Amino acid sequence: MKLKFSLLTALSAALLAAGCSTSPRSSQYDPETEKKIENLLGQMTLEEKIGQTNQLSCYFVPEEMAQVLRSGAVGSVLNALTPEVANQLQRYAVEESRLGIPIIISRDVIHGYKTVFPIPLGQAATFDPELVEQGARAAAVEATAAGIRWTFSPMLDIARDPRWGRIAEGSGEDPYLTTVMGAAMTRGYQGNGIGDPTCMAACAKHFVGYGAAEGGRDYNSTNIPERLLRNVYLPPFEESVRNCGAMTVMTSFNDNDGVPSTANSWLLKQVLRDEWGFDGMVVTDWNSAGELIAHGFAADEADAARLSLTAGVDMDMMSHTYFNHIADLIRDGKVSEKQLDDAVRNILRLKFRLGLFDNPYVDPELSTRVNYCEEHLAAARRCALESAVLLQNENRVLPFDPSKIKRLLVTGPLADAPYEQMGTWTFDGEASHTVTPLAALRETYGDRIQIDYEPVLAYSRDTATPAELAALTARAARADAVLVVVGEEAILSGEAHCLGDLNLQGSQRELMAAARRSGKPVATIIMAGRPLTIAEDLKNTDALLYAFHPGTMGGPALVDLLFGVASPSGKTPVTFPMVVGQIPIHYNHNMTGRPAAGTETLLKDTPVGAGQTSLGCTSFLLDAGFHPLYPFGYGLSYTTFEYDEIALDKQEYAADDTIRVSFRLSNTGDRDATEVAQLYVRDLVGSISRPVKELKAFARIDLKAGESRRVEFELPVGQLAFWGLDMQKRVEPGAFQLWVAGDSNSGEPIPFNVK
C-alpha cells in the first residue's frame, strides 16, 4: 500500500513532467457561458463595465458600501470579514443594483483560513504535494463558508535570496518543487472547479520575477533576461494556469528590465494569453497600476490606467485609476471600448464559472461546522510534522525518551507564542486555537515529566541581562534535558519584512549558549520565515529541528517529533547560507568557467604577501568559501537511509522516451521513517550553459526499520527540455548525468545520452 503511494507520487511527478495533469482547466470553453457573458455585456452601460474592473477593500461598515454596490461601481471586494457581511454586500449587488451582477469576495488566504497550516515555505519542506493539496482544500472549505470565493494564492515566486521577507510565502528556490507545490495548491483551492460551491478561485502570483528583487529588498527592480525567465521563473505559472486551471493571475509590483509587470503586454498577452491560452482574469497587485507613476513609467493616473488596461490587466486592485479614468480615456480615443469589453468578459467569465450568478450567498451557519474541524486540524498537524527539518542530532539526543526525562526545562521566546507560530499572512487564524509546543508538552507529557518553563525572552528581538542568562543556566542544570525554542516573530518575514542580517535576533544566541553551559542535552526548535544564518548557533545545541512557522497545530506535531512518535522527514526547500554575504546562493546555479574545487585557500590561511594567483582562481569567497551551511533537499531522520543499485533501463534515449531509474532504498537504522528520494539531472553540454543540477522528480517513501525496497522513478525525456540559444524550448541531444539521492549534494552521477 505504502509502496503504491510512493510510486504514485513518482508517477504524478512524471505526469506533471509530461504536462498532462488531470485537473480541470479554466480554459474549458463553454459556449453557453460565453453567450450569457455577451448578453450581459450588451446590457451594460459604460459606467457599469468600468465598475466591474474596480476592486475595493471593505474598509467601511457594509452600509457604507451600499451605495457603490447598488450603482454597480465595484466588481470585487477584498476583505469582507464574516459570512453575514459577505451576504449583506452581495445583496446590495445582486438584489439592489440594476443588472444584479454579483461581486466576487476575495482575501489573502495564504496558508489556511482559520486552521492555519505551516507557511508555504514550510509546506514545501514536506515534499508532499498530496498533503499540500489537502491543506489548500481545507483553506477553501473554510474560506468559502465565509463567502470568500477568490484567494490571492498560490505565490509561485522563485526566491533565491532569504533576505527577501516573502521567501516565506513561496516554495523556495527550485522551479520544479515550486511548480509541483503550486499545482497542488491550485487544485486544492479550486476543488471540483466550475459549479463547486467550495471552489475558491486560485490566483497565480506574482507574475512575474518578483522574488528576484535586487538586494532582497521588497518591491525592488529585477533584471531577468527572457531565457532565464522562461527556464526558471515562468514554469510554475505555466503549470498552474495551463494544466491546473488557475482562474486568475496577479501582476507583480516589480519592473523587470525596466518594464513593470502591470504594464507588460508581452507578458500578459503574448505569454499568458497567446502561448498558454489563458482565458481567466488578470488583477493588479495592490495599487500596482497607480505605482506605474512612481516607477517613472506612467505620467499620471490616466496614463497608468491606459498602460495597464492596454497591457492586458482586467481588474484594478485599489488604485482607483480604472474607475476614475477609463471613461475619459475611451472618450479621448486613448483606449478602445473593445479593450474594456475584453476585460469585463474575463471578469464575468470568472463569476459565471464560480456559479455566483446562481448562488451568490453562503449559509452563515456553515462556518461553525467547518472551521477548525477535526479533519482540517489533523491535516494541519500532519503538515507541520512533515515540514520540520532535522538539521542536526548529535549524540542522538533526539528523540527524547520520556522514561528517562523526569524534568524538562523549556525556554525561548517561541515555546509558547501562539500568534507568532502562525507566521506571516495570517489574517484569520486565531491565537486562541493555536497549540504551542509548551501547551502540547504539558498536555501530552505533563503527567510524567515535570515541565519547567522559563522563556527568558518575551519575543524574538528581546534582550536578556547576563544575570538572567546565568539564572537560566542554573535552572537548566537542574533539568534532565533542555528544549530551546527560538527563531523569528511572525512579523520578521513576509511582505516588506526584509532583513540584511539573518542571524537570530535579540539575545537568542546568548540564550542558546546559556542553555548549553548547563551541560545537559539540548534540543532546539527554530521557527522562522526563512533560512537563518545559524552556523554559530549549531555549536550551542545537540539537536536542531527547523520548523519554519508551523501554524495552528505546530505544538503537537513538534512534540511528536521530539519524543519519536514520528521521525522527521522534512527536507530543506531552499539552500541555507553560512553567512549573508553568500547570498544569492542556490543549488541549481549554472556551471561556471572556474568552479570552486575545494582546494582554495581561505582568508584565515592566507599568508601575508601572498601572490596574486596563489589562493585559487575559482568562484569562491575568501572568507566564506562556496559551500552553503545546508544544501537544498537536505534533512536528517532518526534513522539512516542507503541508496544503492541505482540503474537506468537504457544508456541512450530518444526524445519521446521515458527514462526509468530504479534503485534500492534501505532503512539501515532502527526506526520506521520516511525518506524523500530525489532525482537530479545535469545536461553536460548545451547551446547555453546549464545548471549544475536540476531537481526533476521526488517521492516520499515509507520504510520500516531495516526494510529495503526497490523504487522506480519515471522521467519523460521531454522534461529535459529548456529554452536554448535560439529561444526555442527543446531537449538538446547529448550527454547527461543523473543522481538519485537524499539531497542535492549527495550521490554519484550516472551517465546517459539523449539522441
Cβ of residue 205: shortest distance to ligand BGC, in angstroms? 6
Stated as kind and residue range, the H or E segment containing 13 is helix 2-17
- What nine digits make up the cell of 131? 498533503
Site string for ligand BGC, 273-302 (x = CB under 6 A): ------------xx----------------
127 vs 286, beta carbon nearer ligand BGC: 286
Cβ of residue 193: shortest distance to ligand BGC, in angstroms? 22
128 vs 285, beta carbon nearer ligand BGC: 285
Q: 483: Cβ–Cβ under 8 A, 6 or more apart, which residues?
A: 408, 409, 410, 411, 412, 415, 437, 441, 522, 523, 524, 525, 562
153 vs 392, beta carbon nearer ligand BGC: 153
Q: CA triplet 654, 655, 660: central angle to 5 degrees?
A: 70
DSSP label at residue 63: H
Count of residues engaged in binding ligand BGC, rule: CB under 6 A: 6
Site string for ligand BGC, 539-578 (x = CB under 6 A): ----------------------------------------
Distance of CA 133 to the CA centre of its chain: 12
Paired strand residues for 203: 248
Cβ of residue 80: shortest distance to ligand BGC, in angstroms? 13
Cβ of residue 203: shortest distance to ligand BGC, in angstroms? 7
Question: Any contact of residue 495 with ligand BGC (CB under 6 A)?
Answer: yes
Task: Indicate if 285 belongs to the active site.
Answer: yes
Stated as kind and residue range, the H or E segment containing 175 is helix 175-190
Site string for ligand BGC, 167-206 (x = CB under 6 A): --------------------------------------x-
Within positions 76 to 135, which residues make up the interface with ligand BGC, using CB under 6 A? 108
152 vs 736, beta carbon nearer ligand BGC: 152
Sheet with 248-251: strands ordered across: 203-207, 248-251, 281-283
Q: Which of 684, 493, 490, 479 is nearest to 591 (CA)?
A: 684
CA distance linking residue 26 with residue 7, whole number of Å: 28
Within positions 347 to 366, which residues make up the interface with ligand BGC, using CB under 6 A? none
Exactly one of 255, 285, 542, 683 is catalytic; name it.
285
Cβ of residue 152: shortest distance to ligand BGC, in angstroms? 3
Residue nearest to ligand BGC (CB): 152
Q: For residue 248, which phi and psi values (nearest 5 degrees)?
A: -140, 165
Cβ of residue 69: shortest distance to ligand BGC, in angstroms? 20
Given a contact cutoff of 8 angstroms between Cβ atoms, the answer to whether 407 and 449 are in contact is: yes
DSSP label at residue 636: B
Given a contact cutoff of 8 angstroms between Cβ atoms, the answer to whether 86 and 148 are in contact is: yes
Within positions 587 to 646, which residues make up the interface with ligand BGC, using CB under 6 A? none
Cα–Cα separations (whole angstroms), residue 543 to 153, 183, 516, 578: 34, 34, 11, 18
Site string for ligand BGC, 204-233 (x = CB under 6 A): -x----------------------------
Q: For residue 493, which phi and psi values (nearest 5 degrees)?
A: -130, 175
CA distance linking residue 596 with residue 616, whole number of Å: 8
Cβ of residue 316: shortest distance to ligand BGC, in angstroms? 13
CA distance linking residue 382 with residue 556, whole number of Å: 10
Bond into 154 cis (ω within 30): yes
152 vs 207, beta carbon nearer ligand BGC: 152
CA distance linking residue 424 with residue 551, whole number of Å: 10
SS3 690: coil
DSSP label at residue 318: S
Please give the biggest Cα pair distance in the chain.
83
- What nine digits make up the cell of 675? 525518506
DSSP label at residue 229: I
Within positions 144 to 163, which residues make up the interface with ligand BGC, using CB under 6 A? 152
529 vs 742, beta carbon nearer ligand BGC: 529
Cβ of residue 610: shortest distance to ligand BGC, in angstroms? 48
205 vs 549, beta carbon nearer ligand BGC: 205
SS3 523: strand
285 vs 386, beta carbon nearer ligand BGC: 285
107 vs 442, beta carbon nearer ligand BGC: 107
Cβ of residue 158: shortest distance to ligand BGC, in angstroms? 15
Question: Any contact of residue 430 with ligand BGC (CB under 6 A)?
Answer: no
Provide the binding-site residues for ligand BGC, judged by CB under 6 A.
108, 152, 205, 285-286, 495
Active site residues: 285
